[in-house]
Amino acid sequence: MNTIKVGRPGQSGETGKQGQTGSFSGLGLSESMLKSLSAMGYNEPTPIQRKAIPLVMEGRDVLGLAQTGTGKTAAFGLPLAQKLLSADTARESKSVRALILSPTRELASQISEALKMFIRNAHLKVALAVGGQSISVQQRRLERGCDILVATPGRLLDLVERKAVFLDQTGFLVLDEADQMLDLGFIHALRRIAQMVPPQRQTLLFSATMPKEIAKLAEAFLNDPVRVEAAPPGKTADRVRQ
């Protein structure tokens, strides 16, 4: 597996032809996405964004070692949204084109809000499926299908059991904060969900730590992944390409 280590946000890191330092242009994002980013004050990609975005655009599976605060949401959210926009396949009822799993309803809702900001100039439907909220309201929202579903594993399985959502058309699977999901006991739920998403999907896994269990999960869920590491805040940037 290739490993790319990058610095923390605010450190530009190495320059290169692809994704020049100081700009989001050159990473394969559309004008409308670039406009949204500049309106949000995202003027320059963080190191993990600069590395991960082109890899996701190329179709690679990515294993990202990155904490909250490194800009990892945009590192997977931007290229994912861009690929969905470019493919422009029709949404089928109760289907999901891209699934993002998150350990808690708060994190899931933050991801969904960030995605809506990235794609505010585009027509992509983002849905949220988390516990603590009416399942029948979520069920209704999923009836006509969605482009991106951000979900906690337990609520997603409840919706699957109700036949409110089907994952057989899902081409992208993102596991965010995978170590937290394991700590919360979601391992069986993750295995069940990963089996429902067709194997020819693109899979991205982000985790703040890389214990053995995460390495095992990555081996089971990812296909020839590139490992991208963001140095934790406070650590000197490590700009080594192995």
Q: Does 202 help bind ligand AMP (rule: CB under 6 A)?
A: no
Q: Which helix (H) or strand (E) holds 188?
A: helix 187-196
The least distance separating ligand AMP from the CB of residue 183, rounded to whole angstroms, comes to 18
CB atoms within 10 A of CB 141: 15
List the x/- string, 13-52, binding to ligand AMP by CB under 6 A: ----------------------------xx--xx--x---
Burial of 148 (0-12, 13-18, 19+ CB in 10 A): buried
Q: Does residue 11 sit in helix, strand or coil? A: coil
Least separation, in Å, of the C-beta of 230 and ligand AMP?
Answer: 9
Does residue 233 bind ligand AMP (CB under 6 A)?
Answer: no
With CB under 6 A as the contact rule, the residue among 72, 83, 97, 155 that binds ligand AMP is 72
d(CA 191, CA 173): 12
Strand, coil or helix: 212: helix
Nearest one of 230, 223, 202 to 57, comparing CA atoms: 202
Per CB under 6 A, does 73 bind ligand AMP? yes
Nearest to 75 by CA among 207, 186, 182: 207
Q: Using CB under 6 A, which residues numbered 124 to 163 contact ligand AMP?
A: none
Element (H, E) at 85: helix 72-87
Residue keyed to tokens 């069986």: 188
Kindly tell me which residue out of 68, 104, 139, 180 binds ligand AMP, with binding defined by CB under 6 A: 68
Stretch that binds ligand AMP, among 50-58, 64-72, 137-145, 233-241 (CB under 6 A): 64-72
Please state the closest distance from residue 204 (CB atom) to ligand AMP, in A.
13
For position 69 contacting ligand AMP by CB under 6 A, the verdict is yes
Q: Would you tell me which residues interact with ligand AMP (CB under 6 A)? A: 41-42, 45-46, 49, 68-74
